[in-house]
A and B are shown apart, each in its own frame.
Chain A
Amino acid sequence: MRGAANRREALFGGFCLCCLPTLGRSAEGFAMDEVGPGIFIRHGVIADASAENNDAIANIGFVVGKESVLVTESGGSLVDGQWLRGEIRKRTTKPISHVVLTHVHPDHVFGAAAFTEDKPVFIGHASLREALDSRGEYYRKRLVDMLGADKAGSVVYPTLEVKDAAEIDLGDRKLSFHAHGKAHTNSDLSMLDSQSGLLFPADLLSVDRIPSLDGSLLGWFKEIEKLKSFGATGGIPGHGPTRVELEPAFAAITGYLAALRDQTRKAIAADVPIEKAVKTVAMDQRDKWQLFDNYNTRNVTQAYQELEWE
């Protein structure tokens, strides 16, 4: 029996499919959690991109249908994408028909180049192309500086641009997409899996890791309401555990965003300048979020810029 288990471990690269989904990071590095039927997600480390982690910081993975495979998030670098492609090929030989580019941030799109040989449909928000035009090269250079040109990856554009909503079929498995208004970024795309009922809100939902504001704070509240209206109870956040109950997770992120909004408004009303506001706003949220000190200042700066024109 022991030998069989070892063989199985060897076959699956240290991860055994029947084992606990909470196994998460194996000794060799990452592993995939099977969070739903045919849905495999890798937990992204709660850290900033670095040479040590290859920008593998987002929750990435894939969904297997009867006919083909969809990549839910491509990864943060070419090597991260290649790693994911390897994990897919350990489990299925079905063609990789779709790769989702959930928004413009590098930890979500720079793995896409690893899949170009599969000639998939790259699905993205209708505003993603322009956002990549304006930021892609900047992000790429920073990744090259960090990881080297051979590991960084390149900008890949969406070939299916979602303006409002779209649906695709992997073979008895329909996935629907929704293009959101300006919130986390200006190009947030969410996905709902009809088979499992699981929602993939990407970075519109961050759990444990502090959300980063790069679109519109007020818009984010609206889009969270939109996501709730889809009626899913479980989901896969862009960062944090690979599967969560949505209600408490949405409550938590809304709590932070509301603190950010209300305290920034208060600071503006009291003529507290931006350089002072960044030191006080939302500090009561500090214990609730990882990487708080890395992002809160920037979030307050963004919120202040948005709300000072109210």
Chain B
Amino acid sequence: MKALILALGLSLSVTGMAHAAGASDTDQERVARWNDLKKEIFAGKTIEPSETMVRIDAPKRAEDAALVPITLAMSDKDKVKGVSLIIDDNPTPYAAHFIFGPAADPGEIKLRVRVNNYTDVHAVTETKDGRFFESKQFVKASGGCSAPMGMSDEEAMKGMGDMRLKFGEATPGKPAEATLMIRHPNFSGMQMNQVSRDYTPARFIQKLDVSYGDTLIFHMDGDISIASNPVINFGFKPEGKGPIKVVASDNQDGRWEKTFEVPSASN
């Protein structure tokens, strides 16, 4: 709940700033913006730069601003407790916050986001001993938040809440990989209907819990920067018992739950 308030509070406080942001900003302006964001999100914490603790892989120029694939790689994964993704110049910069559970393999997480401008993208990991590390990547893209995902709201809502979980090739004893797909428009609230001058209200996956049996793999707080039909790729420890359970909820009281049997590892 705390993360949610932070995310929404953030969207209000930086709206004016986001308007001013653009492709022509100087490095100094970008650094100043990040410093402001850090103050709001990680109040008072010292954040050290480290590519080992977190590295962002993103296309330098996104061909489709409404779907920008992002990989967060955390090579010192045993220390990692959680990771945040911040897209500095998006209207709601705080895109996602992951907390990893005991069943996670937090070496790598992938997701797809919207990018509304030429922007720095920051990732911040929190370690189990309470330290914070950051890294960044610059992404050239524009219009991802206001670009409508399709041509019709009704169509975008089709099958909302359908889920799939695809498992990667499993090797006994090694971390396994899975890709979660959720049908959901993740309306950003910035897509305008020209006639009514109304915006399609924001409707997005806000909370996501993925667990293996009774053990948490990860919890995610999400926001409008996550692309429609969210797809999240994650690692988990394969020694758990029971099915993988996914519980997703959005900001309009939508709630969906599904369990998936884990295929047994082949030798």
Using a CB–CB distance below 8 Å, which chain A residues touch chain B?
Answer: 104, 127, 130-138, 142, 155, 185-187, 271, 273-275, 278, 297-298, 301-302, 305, 308-309
Contacts of A134 in B (CB 8 A): 148, 150-153, 191, 193-194
Listed residue (A134, A186, A274, A302) with the most chain B CB atoms within 10 angstroms of its CB = A134
Alpha-carbon distance between A186 and B179 when the two chains are bound, in angstroms: 29
Alpha-carbon distance between A108 and B191 when the two chains are bound, in angstroms: 22
From A133, A136, A297, A305, give the contact of B63 (CB < 8 A).
Answer: A297
Contacts of B233 in A (CB 8 A): 273
Contacts of A302 in B (CB 8 A): 64
- Given the interface pairs A278-B63, A302-B64, the reply to whether A186 lies near B146 with Cβ below 8 Å is no
Alpha-carbon distance between A304 and B229 when the two chains are bound, in angstroms: 12
Number of contacts between A and B (CB, 8 Å)? 71
Alpha-carbon distance between A302 and B150 when the two chains are bound, in angstroms: 11
Please determine whether B194 and A137 come into contact, CB atoms closer than 8 angstroms: yes
Alpha-carbon distance between A131 and B152 when the two chains are bound, in angstroms: 6
Alpha-carbon distance between A309 and B193 when the two chains are bound, in angstroms: 28
> 12 A–B contact pairs at CB < 8 A?
A104-B151, A130-B151, A133-B194, A134-B152, A134-B191, A135-B151, A185-B151, A271-B166, A275-B59, A275-B110, A278-B63, A305-B229
Alpha-carbon distance between A142 and B142 when the two chains are bound, in angstroms: 10
Within 8 A of A (CB), among B50-92: 57, 59, 63-64, 67, 69, 71
Secondary structure at the B interface, as helix, strand, loop or mixed, is: loop
Within 8 A of A (CB), among B192-216: 192-195
From B63, B71, B179, give the contact of A298 (CB < 8 A).
Answer: B63
Q: Min CB distance, B191 to chain A, in Å?
A: 6
Please determine whether A138 and B148 come into contact, CB atoms closer than 8 angstroms: yes
Please determine whether A271 and B147 come into contact, CB atoms closer than 8 angstroms: no
Q: A137-B194, A185-B151 are in contact. List 14 more A-B contacts (CB 8 A).
A: A131-B151, A132-B194, A133-B193, A134-B150, A135-B151, A138-B147, A186-B151, A186-B155, A187-B151, A274-B67, A274-B112, A309-B181, A309-B183, A309-B229
Please determine whether B193 and A301 come into contact, CB atoms closer than 8 angstroms: no
Contacts of A271 in B (CB 8 A): 166, 168-169, 179
